[in-house]
Structure 1
């Protein structure tokens, strides 16, 4: 019998931490809560941890400081929780080793879904876990995408955006990161341009797979590829 996964919640908002604990327990996880960043390393070294939900703004030591300290000796997946949407915080967090971001306000059910997705990506899915649906066939020569016997043709930029997101399911890409990966000639491109391309890409993907929502906006952070049924997407919104 497989042991339950252990999730460490580091959050100084008591009500929010308790809600996350309850939802994680209901989803079959063990969860423990700490409120001070300075308490993380001592507790971490004495207990098994499969994933850390880590608030950015903490007493004692910030989420970025905690991430940097943990990465000196551990590769445990870290999902940062933040109400700060400045680009520098997100990029610095990724450079230090955070695996994903969730921006406040959020649905606790979304947090559980993201925890499962990061664990699946970093530790490998178990046979009894539901795999991500919607396997797409991407043809870089024709910019065509095929799924379930249907086909849609994208523009060059739309295809590159989809390719970047599709290669790393559930990872959040900021608009700046997408611009850097798509436009190699260092042209000046606004966030609004990326938003416009994503909007058109989503419409085409909806024509391809109307039952699924494939690309999701993450408030204040960017976009991620994570196939969900539209009913689940509505429940999490």
Structure 2
């Protein structure tokens, strides 16, 4: 296998597992991640900075981004914030800072998962596969006969994974946000605790005592913000969990 010798170097073969963009300025770590992913059947493109990332993204075909936090120029978190204003491509943040506050910040800014250095190859691959299962690579569940869910004026197309607000505007959802919304739509009017949300969504967000679930719910609630004075779509039930306060219509 040829080593990674420069930025924007794609794997020649077209692997079926998905196309991962690695944004990492540490040459050694970038090489190790590239080798692990390619040996596991992924197509890989690499770069060393945010500037190079922005040049590569318009080419399309990226299924997931592994984004380091400490990068030359703009930090990974700044890049994530900017990325979320224009794209819903799944992002896994990679950082040497693994404290809860750092993980929560990454998720708050729109990451689909957060991996703390040092990490093992099995964990990295498992997290990548889990995020991809929740994203565009995941086939629509065969058990779903419906194609559209409507609630409080909102519309979710299960085929395209597109969410449209009551005014007709499209709202971008990350893979984890989409997965969480489906959990609430499948259980309208039911109080769901952290453990239930983790189990039902298959989200890899840490332990139920972690603030990661609360952060993800908060992100989704902000995107479902009702008109001024209107009742919230997702309510907090103190000491118990969260509840979708809307009637869901399946079509």
TM-score by length of 1: 0.57
Q: Is the 8 A contact 1:41 1:70 kept in 2?
A: no
1:168 counterpart (190, 201, 204): 201
CA RMSD of aligned residues (A): 3.0
Q: Is the 8 A contact 2:91 2:113 kept in 1?
A: yes
Q: Which structure 1 residue ranges, 4+ long, deviate > 4 Å from structure 2?
A: 1-4, 178-183
Work out the CA distance in 2 between the residues paired with 1:177 and 1:73.
26
| DSSP 3-state at the match of 2:138 | coil
Work out the CA distance in 2 between the residues paired with 1:95 and 1:178.
9
TM-score by length of 2: 0.54
1:162 Cα deviation (Å)? 2.8
| DSSP 3-state at the match of 1:123 | coil
Give yes or no for the alignment of 1:20 onto 2:33.
yes
Work out the CA distance in 2 between the residues paired with 1:166 and 1:45.
35
1:74 Cα deviation (Å)? 0.8
The total of aligned residue pairs comes to: 155
| DSSP 3-state at the match of 1:33 | strand
Gaps of 5+ in 2: 1-13, 141-191, 218-235, 241-251
Q: Which residue of 2 aligns with 1:67?
A: 80
Gaps of 5+ in 1: 128-158, 187-237
Work out the CA distance in 2 between the residues paired with 1:111 and 1:75.
21
More helix by share: 1
Query: What are the within-5 Å matches in structure 2 for residues 182-197 of structure 1?
Result: 184-185=238-239
Q: Which residue of 2 aligns with 1:50?
A: 63
Stretch deviating more after TM superposition (30-39 or 73-82): 30-39
Q: Which residue of 2 aligns with 1:96?
A: 109
